[in-house]
Amino acid sequence: MNESKSAKISSKIKWAIILLSLAGQLAWAVENQYFNLFIYNEIAPVPFYISLLVAITAIISTLTAIFMGAFSDVKGKRRIFLLVGYSLWAITTAMFPLAGLFQPVVLAVTIAILFDCIMTFFGATANDAAFNAYVTDVTTLENRGQIGSILEIMFLIATLIIYGFAGFIIESVGYYIFFYIIGAVVGLIGIPGAILAAKPENLKPSKAGWWKTIRITFSKNELKNNKNYFIILIAVAIWGISFNIFFPFLMIYLEHYLNISINIASILVFIALLTSIIAAFPIGKAVDKLGRKKLAIGSVCLESISLILFALAENIIFIAITAVMWVFGMVIFDIASKTWIKDLYPEEKRGQFSGYYILFNVLIGMTIGPLIGGFLSEEFGTPIVIDGIPGFIPPPIIFIVGGIIMLFVLVPLIRAKELKKENEMEK
């Protein structure tokens, strides 16, 4: 890997990263929770529909990230993928609630999944493939943890905005206007970010063709050379399964199981995210200083314990404290694992390898996890009827099972190795 670039990143590139990350995370935060909530509250309170939506869009996201990421490597371009991707991502985010106009329920759900798939294609092209590769292009081993903390802060701010204000906006103007507003905001932030994104110094078109670029990745030598990368991806996949057992159902659980209004639920999430935003930058520095592995292992233990405690919480204060704990654990793991993975991207395949991260984190994690969560919700959940349509309320067991499975992340993490920094290699 070429790490000759200066450890200092220009203000222009930092602002591009900030704007692109914030726009993308706003869109994903809405898609991850409020698309689900829209289907549950406006179409049918059936957890299986949500599991289906999450699983299918996870497949679309993964395939898009791998193939469009490889395409950006072959072309040696990121900016055009960012500009076109973010523009169409904004439009398709605003389109989603139109699915609610269709009848009967099965048709409405089908249209909702179709719209989400279209939105996911553009989002995965812009963010999961092009943007993730771009961040790796312009960073080094010495500063990648700090930039990772900026990305995490943008993720938390976006989530803070969506969870903190979405409930109030939805109650004031309804779901439809809410999605139109989000689509507009994504475009207004993301497009300027794409324009600001300067071409990486060492980015050149790949010599291999598009299909060959993908195929040779799985040759024996390539797998051996990238062994640690794929070991970490196994850890990421297990984390994703654990996390998505409960996360797609979080707002539904707070509103319908704990009987917390959507406004109070948003405030609870707001508190947890605000605490993590304050801690994110120091965590990024710690990841650069202490190492990716130590922080990742510690975060898994914290996440497992806090999820089980969250499941037992009924008092509003205890709910808030345990929510802060598991969000904090998530932040540490995100910064440590994503930074570690970026360290190990082959320089000529960063777009493609960004896609493999999505394969393990999104396709595996967001397919298996929600299906487990949906199964647990229908087996152990409380029956409910909304607007004459029967369904189930997700129960606390989804957090307990998630917390137990989380511990299995430790197995691959312990085996994986980190790259040595230049100053460490000189000692």
What would the DSSP string read from start to end of 35-78? HHHHIIIII---HHHHHHHHHHHHHHHHHHHHHHHHHHHHHT-S
Cα distance between residue 106 and residue 164, in whole Å: 31
Query: Per residue in 45-103, pLDDT tens?
Result: 887 888 888 888 888 988 898 888 888 878 878 889 999 999 999 999 999 989 888 88
Secondary structure percentages of the chain, helix, strand, coil, to 5: 80, 0, 15
Q: Which of 13, 295, 286, 312 is nearest to 134 (CA)?
A: 13
Tell me what pLDDT residue 26 has. 92
Which CATH architecture fits 11-419?
A: Up-down Bundle (1.20)
Residue 262 has pLDDT above 80, yes or no: no
Q: Taking the alpha carbons of 232, 234, 237, 243 in that order, is the dihedral positive or negative? A: negative
Global confidence as pTM: 0.73
Q: DSSP letters along 232-243, please?
A: HHHHHHHHHHHH
What does each C-alpha distance from 215 to 220, 222, 341, 349 come to in angstroms?
Answer: 11, 10, 20, 12
Query: Per residue in 90-145, pLDDT tens?
Result: 999 999 989 888 889 889 999 999 999 999 999 999 998 889 888 888 877 777 77
What 8-state DSSP symbol labels residue 377? Answer: H
Q: Which of 31, 126, 59, 36 is nearest to 87 (CA)?
A: 126
Cα distance between residue 341 and residue 125, in whole Å: 19
Cα distance between residue 306 and residue 329, in whole Å: 8
**Confidence band of 4 (pLDDT split at 50, 70, 90):** very low
| Tokens of residue 347, six digits | 């320089």
Q: Which of 158, 75, 86, 164 is nearest to 123 (CA)?
A: 86
Query: Per residue in 210-220, pLDDT tens?
Result: 666 666 666 66
* Domain limits, the chain: 11-419
